[in-house]
A and B are shown apart, each in its own frame.
Chain A
Amino acid sequence: MADTVHAVEVHHTPAGFLRRYVFSMDHKVIGIQYLITAMVMALVGGLLAMLMRLQLAFPHETWPLLGKIFPVGMEGGVMKPEFYLSLLTMHGTLMVFFVVSMALLSGFGNFVIPLQIGARDMAFPFLNMLSYWVMVPACLVMLASFFVEGGAAASGWTAYPPLSAVKEAVPGSQMGQTLWIVGMALFIASFTMGGLNYVTTILNLRTKGMSLLRMPVTVWSLFAASLLGLLAFPPLTAAAVMLLLDRHAGTSFFLPSGLYFGNQLLENSGGTPLLWQHLFWFLGHPEVYVLILPALGITLEMMPVFTRKPLFGFRMTLYCLGAITFLSLIVWGHHMYVSGMSPYAGEFFAIGTLVITLPSAVIGMNMLASLYGGALRLKTPMLFAIAAVVFFGTGGFGGLFLGNPTSDIQLHDTYFVVGHFHLMIGGVTLMATFAGCYYWFPKMFGRMMSERLGKLHFWLTFPCFYGIFVAMHYNGLQGQPRRYFNFERYEFLAGVREPQFWITVAAFLLFIAQVAFLWNFFYSAWRGAPADANPWQASTLEWTTTSPAPHGNWAGEIPEVHRWAYDYSVPGQAEDCTPQNRPQSVAPVTY
């Protein structure tokens, strides 16, 4: 292991601009490329959400300006239902895969892993570059789908056939759905290259002394998430190919006989729509853990640094990460309680789901206990980490209602679900992403982000986000179904119309608040206050090199590790932080 590390030291900083910043093989540059790409996609995904909120709050309003920007979907300034369906489909797809997965796994995964385990770069730098340059066309194909005949895919991010398989079912199922499948295939290819790289790097390129149990929790969470992604994505790839064949080659994997569209009987026979649901959720559920595990890892990473106290129950947390990784592969059916799946299977998935709440609850308790007795420094990264803890708690309790098939019956496909998953895989993950951005920014650019703007960003983001999605839980209790273009045909939905306005106001405020973040990010990269090597007085390895870290990560020898990652406030030590590379002779190893 150590030999490999030294062998890479001959790396030189590439000379040309293109090789250095565009087609770079440096994991740090690739990580930043991914982060910025994710920001662009988040902006698009956010705009789509704003258009949806506009429609839900003002269902009959005319928006002439928007009519000019979207001449087809909003002809004359009035939104069409098919456009709304494309919006919600693409919002979900972009946010889940192209924003959260990309920022957490591809962005931080790339940037943080080699720095924290003491490696010069990823195990396969060329594969790493390739993965980014496959991701770019994936993004472009997804975005391009808005401009084809019929508009972007409109069958939801879950793409249930027959809606997604039959062209006559909905306009978005013409060219848009095909592009969606192609975009997803490219995404999965890129993501697989990334995952292979992370797993190999973590297993093979750790510096001397960095045993598995001494790895920081962020690396552990990324390791678990990458493994999970590698295991769960292939079935979706297979399903996507089958869907493509159903659409274009006349097969019937997901299409039964007797389908009747526009007075015409289709010739398909023998397939079942439930097969897609099983294959999709076999990825789909692990995918939410792919998103949430690194988010929890980053949140946990902030705790010791900003409480100056060791992480509470570190090993227990690792066991829980492992348990979640395994269990998340056998709970996919809880998305299908009302799908027509066997009720006995429902019971099985219910038990699995409730068992997976246990390690999640334990991690939550460990977070809380990590704060207890600390000396909290409420810097911006910590504020966002606490927000992630809050959302993890609130969202988690909503999950107890949805994981149970009995209580799920009424709540399934309502806004209760929308509120729930936005708090979890939207809220926890975004808060952790922000925390990570503020935290590792000095290591990326050698400058600090502005605390003042960061606080402004936090104080607008946290309450708006919380308010919006808690309100959606309540609307869900009224029975408000999701994916509705408006709520006018139903008497029973009279009560949910009025809150739409306030949710929309909060949503716009939330969106605008992100300007503070973007400005802070790009302006600080250029003009921020210079950062020293270890601005947060943290113990992990990335803070032992200069800010920004040079090509090859350490100018000289890679530091050797002598202790676990979170030795803070050790009794008998003058400083309240003992870096991982401090030798035993200077500070005794306690854990």
Chain B
Amino acid sequence: MLLALLIWVFTVVIVWMFAGDYWTFPEAINEHGRQYDQHFATTLYITGAIFFVSQIALGWTIFKYRDNGGRATYSHGNNKLEVLWTSAAAVLFIGAVLLSTRIWAGVHLTPPQGEVVEIEAVAKQFLFNFRYAGADGKFGKLDIKQINDAAGNPFGIDEKDPAGKDDVVNSNIRVPKGKPVRLILRSRDVIHNFFVRELRVKQDMVPGMVIPLHFQADKVGKYDVACSELCGLGHHQMRAELEVMEPADFEKWLQEEDAKLKAQ
């Protein structure tokens, strides 16, 4: 009796909390994020409805069929019922995956269209660094032997390559609003992760691998980039800032950085 009540209370509270405004995602700042949220909501409706019905039914069964001296029903099962709920679950669950393949493909398989801003990222314990090609639009060659954090060269940009002279390196990432960004992820030591929850984007940065990631943010603002793969002592402090800027401001910032490099 009490148990049935408790199960009901938990069920109602869980449904209420998931359905209410309290625990929904922060607003997405890109098209992929909005599609993601929509798909999440669809999954939530499907599972939520089944969850609610099954838990309420469980509570009701416990309440209704508690032992009061009567004899239990004799039954081995019901094949029709089994087939029915297996196929219903199959349609709903597998449907949910099939529905979302388009979103998955959009992130991973479809290359970004139009004028793409290319940025490189390298992670190390416990910092992100980002690199822009600079005025010449070309990244300088990398040579791991030339990595020198003290001298501001966490990427190991080759001194001898002229294309690298104007490469802008920054520990935060800035992107122009409304333009597709292609981010090339690398790691220098252990596995890290690039996670921006407003973008609904999360990707491991694996040493020895070069992993491309693309997104297009359409809302100006500053957002947290968090490392989401255990990387050591400072894992909980490995943060960068993502700043989405008006395209004009972005260009201006890049030019300023370029000027600074030339002055050196």
Contacts and interface: CB of A to CB of B under 8 A. Distances in A.
Interface stretch (A227-235, A293-301, A386-394): A386-394
B77 A351 contact: no
A170 interface: yes
A413 B193 contact: yes
Contacts, number: 297
Interface string B189-207: 1110101010011111011
Interface stretch (B131-139, B144-152, B167-175, B256-264): B144-152
A294 to B, nearest CB: 22
A350 B78 CA distance: 30
A485 B65 contact: no
Contacts of A169: 125, 189-190, 232
B94 A386 contact: no
Interface residues of A, number: 105
A569 B103 contact: no
Interface string A559-584: 00000000011110000100000000
A533 interface: no
A404 B234 CA distance: 30
Interface string A430-465: 000000000000000000000000000000001100
Given A371-B61, A386-B62, A483 B230 contact: yes
Given A310-B76, A312-B77, A489-B239, A259 B188 contact: yes
Nearest to B55: A393
B209 to A, nearest CB: 5
A375 B68 contact: yes
A570 to B, nearest CB: 6
A585 interface: no
A397 B50 contact: yes
A490 B239 contact: yes
Given A404-B100, A487-B236, A410 B200 contact: yes
Interface string B1-26: 00100110010001001000011111
- Listed residue (B24, B65, B72, B195) with the most chain A CB atoms within 10 angstroms of its CB: B72
Contact of A163 (B23, B57, B224, B230): B230
Contact of B189 (A259, A272, A406, A483): A259
A462 to B, nearest CB: 7
B229 interface: yes
B21 to A, nearest CB: 12
A85 B23 contact: no
Interface stretch (B84-92, B157-165, B244-252): B84-92
Contacts of B253: none
B204 to A, nearest CB: 5
Nearest to B241: A491
Given A81-B236, A260-B144, A481 B228 contact: yes
Given A340-B206, A400-B43, A571-B74, A378 B188 contact: no
Contacts of A489: 236-237, 239
B61 A372 contact: yes
A73 to B, nearest CB: 12
Interface of B: 3, 6-7, 10, 14, 17, 22-26, 36, 39-40, 43, 46-48, 50-51, 54-55, 57-58, 61-62, 65-79, 81-82, 85-86, 89-90, 93-94, 96-97, 100-101, 103-105, 107-109, 124-125, 144-145, 147, 149, 188-191, 193, 195, 197, 200-204, 206-209, 211, 223-224, 226-237, 239
Which A-B residue pairs are the 8 nearest by beta carbons? A256-B208, A373-B73, A313-B77, A343-B108, A479-B197, A406-B100, A309-B72, A484-B236
Interface of A: 81-82, 85, 154-156, 160, 162-163, 166, 169-171, 255-261, 263, 265, 271-274, 307-310, 312-316, 338-340, 343, 346-347, 350-351, 354-355, 357-358, 361-362, 364-366, 368-369, 371-378, 383, 386, 389-390, 393-394, 397, 400-401, 403-407, 409-410, 412-414, 462-463, 466, 470, 474, 477-479, 481, 483-487, 489-492, 568-571, 576, 591
7 contacts: A272-B206, A313-B78, A462-B6, A478-B23, A479-B26, A489-B236, A569-B72
